[in-house]
Amino acid sequence: MNSLRHLLSAAAIGTLLLSCCGMPSETDRRVERLLGQMTLAEKVGQMAQLTIEPFILADGEGGFTLDTALLREAVVDYGVGSLLNVPLSESQPAEVWGSFIAELQRIATDETRMGIPLIYGVDQVHGGTYSLGSTLFPQQIALAATWNPAHARRMGEITAYEMRACNIPWNFAPILDLGADPRFPRQYEGFGEDPYLGSVLGRELVKGQEGDANDVDHPEHVATCLKHFLGYSVPASGKDRTPANIPWSTLLEYHLPAFRAALDAGARSVMVNSGIIDNCPVHASHRILTGLLRDELGFDGVVVTDYEDLEKLHARDRLAATSKEAIRLGINAGIDMAMIPIDYRGFCRDLRELAEEGAVPMSRIDEAVRRILKLKFELGLFERPNTRPADYPLYGCDEHRQASYAAAAEAITLLKNDGALLPLDPAAGKRILVCGPNAESRRALCGGWTVTWQGHGIERHPELCKTLAEAIGERFGARNVEVIPGVSYQAHESRYDTEHRDRFDEAAAAARRADVVVLCLGENSYCEKPGDLNDLALDPLQTELAERVIAAGKPVVLVLSEGRPRLISKFSAKIPAIVQSYLPGPQGADAVADVLAGAVNPSGKLPYTYPAFPNSLSVYYHKYADEQRNTDATYKYEGDYNPEFVFGHGLSYTTFAYSGAKLTHEGDEIVIAVDVANTGDRAGREVVQLYSRDLYASLIPDVKRLRRFEKIALQPGETRTVEFHLTTDDLAFYDLENRRIAEPGDFLFEIGSSSSDIRATLNYNLQK
């Protein structure tokens, strides 16, 4: 056995690159001692990350064994230092995770010269994505709709606990891409369109996983990996991994804040944007990966590529004439670890040659390996390379599932409720028709990254997730509920099952018999490129079903389950009640049913703008704040922002009144207070939102920007004073010279229940 403790006594060099702000830490010293003993081949191996699939031998009965001979070649002969992904591309029980990663670690620590443990990473993006029986939460877009940072913190804590139960120390999450384009298929993975909302929730998700002290060696904490740095989510085509055009000031103003907040919270690693910005693939962008991330933001953690993205510099982007040249470009730009993910022989050979030729400086190799080793030391992998499932008795427990339910229930957003159609009284005995493709679809509730990459695996585990039809039947009585999907999805695709296309007549007839129709529409699950689309409008089959059901003349409640806002304007005006559930996860059906029945008073707010038209996809912080002042009718700007529902919108079964707004300031601090009262007859939660408007600026100002928010719970008749604290830096912006400045001048603060439902305004003048 080659134990590391017998090797760390040798002196090493390389401390010149350690912090110059004081004496190096014990971890830094351990890293340098180890680094000084490593060969070039061993260093290069640490920079390689492989997917587990080539090392899996399926047994034909749903199980697998490891190809230990091939593993030894990769880990022992080539020194590969990291693995990722899930065996058989499907969720595995904690016991399976624990045992096979332990075998990987045994090979790495016992059979290699240096005994360096592996670091294993998985995309556990909304709870235990790939851990069977673990706690799955709503997707991040639904967490954003809660406007309650406590849910992000709790999801992070539970995710970390249950990952460690599976012997996995590294999570490729949170996703902090700005959700400013509803066409983008990964919008549901992030926190929506607002930079500030994403910053608050992203910070809490990091702290939930890494701990307040970022002590990731704690057996219930994991290292986070922020993705995808930077500007990934707004490609010009709206399609995944296609080019974007983003001015640098825009990148800094809107896309950077959530990442900056998460880095300030101590996040240990960053994954790179797979796309192209202004004709430069981000994996080759020294300006972004070194100039911005390292030099300006001071990040000293690990930068890892996304899947096969170094090779894409050659094969897709034609930036490099060979795979070797692609490696040179990416490593010199600032990448520390390459998610290869298969051809470790070629990568390791090419990078060794590049170092020997001087095309990649040895200092760059040492810098990358230093960061990787430091992360492994910080995770405690040298002392404890494995954690055991038996030590985590709360794995998938009722308490954890209740936390998932609480997040789902608080996320659900009541978009429309004409005539107070909702809530429905379970005791009234009304006949309810539940129809639409999402009525019996678990995939539609959970989305991608659920048991399998595309999310279809959840249908093989009905014990994990109720359907909407099942939950509604439980609340309102099975004999009162009739279920006719009308159209259903195919088992493994996002397309429709043609055998259900002719059930429109049946659904329309059932609607005429019913007292109320619950119409369950939206999307099937998808992830990444398979989620690309050519038409943001809801599918024609669903639109036709909606129109047929509406024509029956009965009240309709539309329940949306979707990863991005699909256009519903062709029929939305004819529907009195609309409920957005986003992708609420396995507890989502119960949460939706409880909202419909009035057991839960909805309090979610839209974390994005819900568009009405395909050519009107503006975010709420668009330009042209004072279009009503334009007297030339030909050039009025009211069409710049005309959504179906505005950012921050969400109704309640109670009502809230705002009064007594006041502003005080002393020096750099601004304090804004407002009284909020529950004027209805139900307890409820309200999200109090504070926006600022820069009335005139040297760069055309946004119409408004969210600056603070607070979610409060009020009993009927209760009043609470909400107080917001800001500084003048909150009013700053990046100008066209990429300088962050706070310009003197007049500002307007707006306080309200959404970005357009403003209840109080306050003037403020920023002095020089």
How is residue 426 written in tokens? 């379970």
Question: Helix crossing, 149-165 with 94-111: angle to 10°?
Answer: 60
Tokens 């992998």 correspond to what residue? 381
Residue 594: in which H helix or E strand, if any? helix 588-597
CB 150 within 8 A of CB 156: no
Q: Which amino acid is at 521?
A: L
Q: Is 60 left (phi over 0), alpha (psi -120 to 50) or beta?
A: left
Tokens 């600056």 correspond to what residue? 707
Measuring CA to CA, which residue among 360, 373, 232 is closest to residue 302? Answer: 373
CB 601 within 8 A of CB 651: no
| Cα radius of gyration rounded to whole Å, the chain | 27
CB 652 within 8 A of CB 684: yes
What own/partner pairs with CB < 8 Å and gap ≥ 24 does 357-360 have? 359/328, 360/327, 360/328, 360/331, 360/332
Burial of 61 per CB tally in 10 Å (0-12, 13-18, 19+): exposed
What own/partner pairs with CB < 8 Å and gap ≥ 24 does 386-390 have? 386/98, 386/101, 386/102, 386/105, 386/167, 387/98, 387/164, 387/165, 387/167, 387/169, 387/219, 388/98, 388/167, 389/94, 389/95, 389/97, 389/98, 389/165, 389/166, 389/167
Q: Which amino acid is at 151?
A: H
Catalytic residue among 306, 336, 594, 702: 306
d(CA 386, CA 79): 19
Q: Is 577 left (phi over 0), alpha (psi -120 to 50) or beta?
A: beta
Measuring CA to CA, which residue among 27, 33, 31, 26 is closest to residue 12? Answer: 33
Burial of 95 per CB tally in 10 Å (0-12, 13-18, 19+): middle
**3-state secondary structure string across 48-82:** EEEECHHHEEECCCCCEEECHHHHHHHHHHCCCCE
CB 86 within 8 A of CB 123: no
Which residues share a beta bridge with 764?
747
Residues 6+ apart with CB under 8 A from 768: 744
Measuring CA to CA, which residue among 691, 678, 675, 690 is closest to residue 652? Answer: 678
Beta-strand (E) ranges in 529-613? 556-561, 577-580
Residues 6+ apart with CB under 8 A from 40: 352, 355, 356, 362, 365
d(CA 248, CA 738): 7
Residues 6+ apart with CB under 8 A from 653: 414, 422, 423, 598, 601, 602, 680, 682, 684
At residue 355, the 3 state secondary structure works out as helix
Report the Cα 554 to chain-centroid distance in Å: 38
Instruction: Please indicate whether residue 264 is annotated as part of the active site.
Output: no
Planar angle of CA 596, 599, 601, nearest 5 degrees: 75
Which residues share a beta bridge with 497?
488
Burial of 298 per CB tally in 10 Å (0-12, 13-18, 19+): exposed
- The residues carrying an active-site annotation are 306
